Amino acid sequence: MKKTLFSSLLLLASLNLQANDQLPDVEQFIDEMVTKHGFERAELENVFDQVEVKDAILKAISRPAEKSKPWYEYRNIFLTDSRINGGYEFWQQHKEALEAAQQQYGVPAEIIIAILGVETRYGQHMGGYRVIDALSTLAFRYPPRSPFFRSELEKFLVLTHEEKISELEPIGSYAGAMGLGQFMPSSYLAYAVDFDGDGHRDIWTNPTDAIGSIANYLKLHGWVAGQSIVHRTQATKPLPEAMLANDLKPAFTRQQLEQAGFSLSQVPEGDDVLSVIGLTQPDGEEYWLGRQNFYAITRYNHSRMYAMAVYQLAQAIREKMDNTK
């Protein structure tokens, strides 16, 4: 009996040692969390003893980037009947929260819904990994981006402490993005809101908090209430390469755009600067002129195609909503 007990204790010790062995520098990280944030060392050691390093996460993050899809293929991923219908149903189910978010933050309901549709199909696909496993694996086993994920792991532990939830409970993507809107922990701490006033910022199971958090995120990234987003244009002559290679931020005056050969007939009057968006169609490039609100959407994901997919999905959901009233 004593021999069996001794063997069991040795096995338990070896399992704990193995967990720590799989997470180099975890003891130093625990030291930092204790010193900086006042965490209990024993509690953190217990958490990290239960962390599972996932080779699948390392494979996913290391996978070579897929060849960039042209717009007409990328668009077809998101502009589907199922996503449009799902957005319509989500709107019907959460009208009150969406109206409140639009009133408080100035962000239209259809934009919030479209982001949820693109990110997680309205909460149907929020990831399959424990966030603690994902962030620990990448913080301690993926040197190319270790500082970033170590910072996100720190913020994740802070938010679980603030929200009084188990560190082992939240589920997210292989990169640690969480909830209906796929917030990283740093974004959660900066932008998540308790929109229904129940004392918790629950972006996993509470659509109301997810709605308010996305709207707050966009507002704090410069969303202008009542302003349009993006407008189709035509180019009447070859475009300067520098104009197409500009960053996502609006930078061109209307005069510059007219001189470059763009039609501004569909753009509302104003003195705000615009961005040039070129999108590949099977028969050539199509051009759009983006305003500040288009740029705000790109702060959620730094991609023109992502922002355009959100915009066009939003328009399709709005059209279905208007046509079924």
Give dist(CA 172, CA 193) in Å, integer: 18
Return the sign of the alpha-carbon dihedral for residues 29, 30, 31, 34: positive
Long-range contacts of 79-82 (CB under 8 A, 24+ apart): 79/309, 79/312, 79/313, 79/316
Q: Are 15 and 43 in contact (CB under 8 A)?
A: no
Q: 89, 96, 119, 152: which one is catalytic?
A: 119
Q: Which two tokens stand for residue 80?
A: 């589907």
**Helix/strand/coil (H, E, C) string of the chain?**
CHHHHHHHHHHHHHHHHHHHHCCCCHHHHHHHHHHHHCCCHHHHHHHHHCCCCCHHHHHHHHCCCCCCCCHHHHHHHHCCHHHHHHHHHHHHHCHHHHHHHHHHHCCCHHHHHHHHHHHHCCCCCCCCEEHHHHHHHHHHHCHHHHHHHHHHHHHHHHHHHHHCCCCCCCEECCCCCECCCCECHHHHHHHCCCCCCCCCCCCCCCHHHHHHHHHHHHHHCCCCCCCCCEEEECECCCCCHHHHCCCCCCCECHHHHHHCCECCCCCCCCCCCEEEEEEEECCEEEEEEECHHHHHHHCCCCCHHHHHHHHHHHHHHHHHHHHCC
Give dist(CA 166, CA 176) in Å, integer: 15
Annotated active-site residue 169? The verdict is no
| Active site amino acids | 119
